[in-house]
């Protein structure tokens, strides 16, 4: 849901009725944002067998085969169920505008079948989908489109919450960059995480939540957390490590990790915390990197899967931090952390990037609807 805050927030502020059509796992997050919820599609991403297979492909064959399997095979396979649910519901209550995640292939089809104006909202997967579209995704969708008497599958015009060149070597068709907003509750920092009294640099670490759900990846990511925490224990900094349900075991079972200077927690309000830290060690997911820009916090990117490795490299090339491979050892990590903390140019580059991000035009829902 956080990847769509730049759409739902402005729509609500502009007085529109906003409804989320999604699997039930998103119900709570929709309600936290004041968005009406309707269940559509299935919770297939929570299927242990799917998670196991996807994780094994990544572990054994690497990221490109993982992307082809997940985004070129699984997502198209699930589009039929989502399209069926949406066509049924939208025939009863027709929306004025559809803004669907770029990876929500079923919603794109449903909107096309019902001749509804539709835009694809970039959730970070836009570059991956474009790379796979002609070779994997469009061929996999062709039969489903024919069943609904539709032409060749095409991505709708893209909305993206960042300057297009930041993440795209080749811009997607009709791309429209719009201002990024964050849900208000995510901008408040709990008092227990306020470390303003410390004179040491504060490093925040998070490798995301997706990988810990995949059994084959979970052990790998846990090991990476331990290497990062061991590296941070050896330099003069404090650290907050957000590691989900891995957090309870990380410090207590590794003698290299010095507590409480390296504090493992399950979850933090990331946009709020990033306004108070000196460096972000991140898996380089799109939303996390943009949180870092808006917090003017340099990054050390350690991409895991999907778009993340490319994102980490893109930010390093822009001087917004550094990038390391996931297999980096504690010595390499501590050297990179020390180098970024010691060089003010990284923070200056982030301040400039934040200014560029804030100059994007706001998302105007009515204007968007009228432009179709």
CATH number, domain with residue 204: 3.40.50.2000
Indicate whether 104 and 37 sit together in one domain: yes
Q: Among 123, 143, 177, identify where a domain stops.
A: 177
Q: What angle do CA 276, 238, 268 make, to 5 degrees?
A: 50
Position 200 scores a pLDDT of: 87
Position 198 scores a pLDDT of: 66
Determine the Cα–Cα distance for residues 199 and 201; give it in Å rounded to an integer: 7
146 within 8 A of 83, measured Cβ to Cβ: no
Return the biggest CA–CA distance within the chain. Answer: 65
Determine the Cα–Cα distance for residues 108 and 343; give it in Å rounded to an integer: 45
Indicate whether 167 and 194 sit together in one domain: no
Give me the half-sphere count of Cα atoms (radius 13 Å) on the Cβ side of residue 279.
28
Position 100 scores a pLDDT of: 96
Indicate whether 16 and 160 sit together in one domain: yes
Residues of the chain short of pLDDT 70, as ranges, are: 190-198, 213, 251-260
168 in a structural domain? yes
Indicate whether 171 and 250 sit together in one domain: no
Indicate whether 114 and 263 sit together in one domain: no
Contacting residues for 22 by C-beta, under 8 A, at least 6 apart: 30, 37, 38, 39, 40, 41
8 in a structural domain? yes
Position 60 scores a pLDDT of: 92
88 in a structural domain? yes
368 in a structural domain? no
Indicate whether 156 and 8 sit together in one domain: yes
Q: Could you tell me the residue range of the domain that residue 13 belongs to?
A: 2-177
Over residues 310-335, the pLDDT tens digits come to 999 999 999 999 999 999 999 999 99
Number of domains observed in the structure of the chain:
2
6 in a structural domain? yes
54 in a structural domain? yes
364 in a structural domain? no
Rg of the chain (C-alpha set): 21
Position 355 scores a pLDDT of: 97
């Amino acid at each position: 849901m956080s990847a769509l805050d730049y759409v739902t927030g402005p729509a609500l502020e502009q007085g529109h009725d906003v409804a989320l059509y999604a699997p039930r796992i998103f119900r709570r997050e929709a309600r936290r944002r004041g968005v009406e919820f309707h269940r559509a599609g299935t919770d297939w991403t929570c299927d242990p067998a799917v998670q196991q297979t996807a994780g094994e492909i990544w572990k054994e064959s690497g990221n490109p085969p993982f992307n082809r399997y997940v985004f070129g095979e699984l997502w198209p396979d699930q589009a039929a169920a989502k399209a069926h649910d949406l066509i049924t519901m939208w025939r009863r209550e027709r929306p004025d505008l559809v803004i669907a995640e770029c990876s929500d292939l079923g919603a794109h089809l449903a909107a096309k079948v019902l001749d509804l104006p539709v835009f694809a909202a970039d959730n970070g997967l836009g570059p991956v989908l474009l790379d796979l579209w002609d070779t994997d995704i469009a061929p996999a969708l062709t039969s489903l489109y024919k069943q609904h008497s539709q032409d060749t599958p095409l991505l709708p015009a893209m909305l993206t919450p960042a300057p297009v060149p930041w993440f795209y070597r080749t811009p997607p068709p009709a791309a429209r960059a719009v201002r990024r907003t964050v849900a208000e509750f995510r901008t408040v920092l709990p008092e227990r995480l306020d470390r303003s009294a410390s004179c040491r640099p504060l490093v925040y670490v998070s490798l995301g939540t997706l990988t810990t759900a995949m059994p084959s990846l979970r052990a790998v990511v846990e090991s990476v957390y331990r290497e990062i925490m061991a590296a941070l224990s050896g330099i003069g900094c404090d650290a907050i490590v957000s590691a989900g349900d891995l957090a309870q075991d990380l410090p207590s079972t590794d003698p290299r990790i010095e507590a409480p200077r390296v504090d493992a927690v399950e979850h933090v309000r990331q946009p709020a915390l990033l306004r108070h830290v000196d460096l972000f060690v991140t898996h380089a997911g799109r939303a996390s990197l943009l949180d870092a820009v808006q917090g003017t916090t340099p990054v050390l990117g350690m991409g895991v899967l999907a778009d993340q490795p490319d994102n980490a490299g893109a930010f390093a090339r822009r001087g917004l931090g550094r990038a390391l491979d996931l297999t980096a050892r504690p010595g390499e990590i501590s050297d990179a952390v020390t180098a970024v903390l010691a060089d003010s140019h990284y923070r200056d580059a982030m301040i400039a990037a934040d200014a560029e991000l804030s100059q994007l035009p706001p998302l105007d829902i009515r204007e968007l609807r009228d432009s179709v």
